[in-house]
Structure 1
Amino acid sequence: MCGNPVKWSDPLELIKGLSDGVIISTPNQNYRAIAMGVESLSPTQATVLAELPSYGSSTIVKKSLFGQNDLVALSAATGEEFAMFITGGRRLIVRGNATSIPIDINKAKVLGEQGWRWSSHVHPDGTLMSSEGDRLIIRFFRNTRSEIFDLKGTRILFNSKGDMIPPDRKPLPSRIRE
């Protein structure tokens, strides 16, 4: 039995009988608990974080092993921004600090020319709004929009013109009475 390395609640004993080495997807992690140190990163997340020791460090992982939820978990564990870029079956993860990620225009141009797309990044302060820098940098990638996540896993989309309001947040059209 592999135990419960992530330290999440398992009332139905779903992991009972799994052998060691089984990687379990963690889409329902409690990011707030990770931020408070009550819940741990998954083994895969911990391995990726170990490869990103400081501001500006980066690593490439297989797309099948790391996703948006994992990116949010890293940010919850450190209080720092992380960005994810994708191409083919690979994900490039870049570590920032509490307020920024070190991708300037020149780095964005190089990544864009190499075929990378800017998938997402996390704002650990909870701000679900793109910055002027975010809107500038997205212009150098093949994709025209990207996502911003907060530590609850809530997301917004943005493009070079601004934030894209999701349908559930758009005001209802006013009714005109005749």
Structure 2
Amino acid sequence: MTLRREQKKLLEQVPEVGNWTKLRKKQVSVKDLAALTASTGHEFAVFTGKSSKILIHGTSKSWHIPHDAWEVIKSNQYEWTAHSHPTMTKITVSPEDRETLKLFTWQEKSTIIDLKGNTKEFTASTQDWINEILGVVDYDKREKSNKYSWPDTD
């Protein structure tokens, strides 16, 4: 995939696995993660603070937050906006994705984006994970009397 000029500049700032950089908010979007992943085959993650974002370059199967980046993220309570998966099939939330989100005690949800730009929002909830595996839809944990709806089996 051919990157736009702005996306090439992003990749130049995080050219290697494990690299990270701090950017102005408008310099990187969730859609940019899909383009970077399509170009490299690697995962990328973005975190949003009050006035800036952090972009991290991962491997083809995962990414990690470098200790110095985590200090900035945690002390300023950046939100984990999104990360990319190098897939064009169904987006799957991994147990590692959910465990990572649990570190962000100040937020409830994050997003995964695939190579095509499809997104999937997820939570750290084990119940949400179980519901996804079982195919339970329309589960609303805010309701006191949850009503489950099973997918049609036509």
* TM-score tier after normalising by the smaller chain length: 0.7 to 0.9
Shift of 1:106: 9.8
Structure 2, unmatched stretches of 5+, are: 139-147
1:45 Cα deviation after fit: 0.6
Deviations 1:38-93 (A, max 9, x none): xx211111011011121110011111222111111111100000000010121100
Cα distance change on mapping 1:104 and 1:134 into 2, 3 Å: farther
Alpha-carbon separation, structure 1, partners of 2:109 and 2:61: 20
Q: Which residue number in structure 2 is paired with residue 143 of structure 1?
A: 107
> Contact 1:108/1:140 (CA < 8 Å) preserved in 2?
no
Query: Residue 45 of structure 1 corresponds to which residue in structure 2?
Result: 7
**Is the partner of 1:55 in helix, strand or coil?**
coil
Match 1:133 to one of 93, 96, 100: 96
Mapped partners of 1:45, 1:139: distance in 2: 30
Residue 103 (structure 1) shift: 2.7
The separation in 2 between residues aligned to 1:66 and 1:110, in whole angstroms, is: 18
Find out whether 1:160 has 2:115 as its counterpart. Answer: no
DSSP 3-state at the match of 1:148: strand
1:50/1:91 Cα in 2 relative to 1: closer, same or farther (>3 Å)?
same
Residues 1:106 and 1:49: Cα distance change in structure 2 (over 3 Å): closer
Query: How does the TM-score come out when normalised to structure 2?
Result: 0.75
Larger Rg: 1
Alignment match, 1:80: 42
Which consecutive aligned stretches of 4+ in structure 1 deviate over 3 angstroms post-superposition? 104-110, 162-165, 169-174
Cα shift readout 1:91-150 (whole Å, capped 9, x = no counterpart): 100000100002389975762333111000000034512111111111122211100011
Structure ranking higher in helix proportion: 2
Ranges in structure 1 where 5+ consecutive residues have no aligned partner? 1-33, 35-39
Q: Percent identity?
A: 28
Q: TM-score with structure 1 length normalisation?
A: 0.65
1:121 to 74, 83, 87: 83
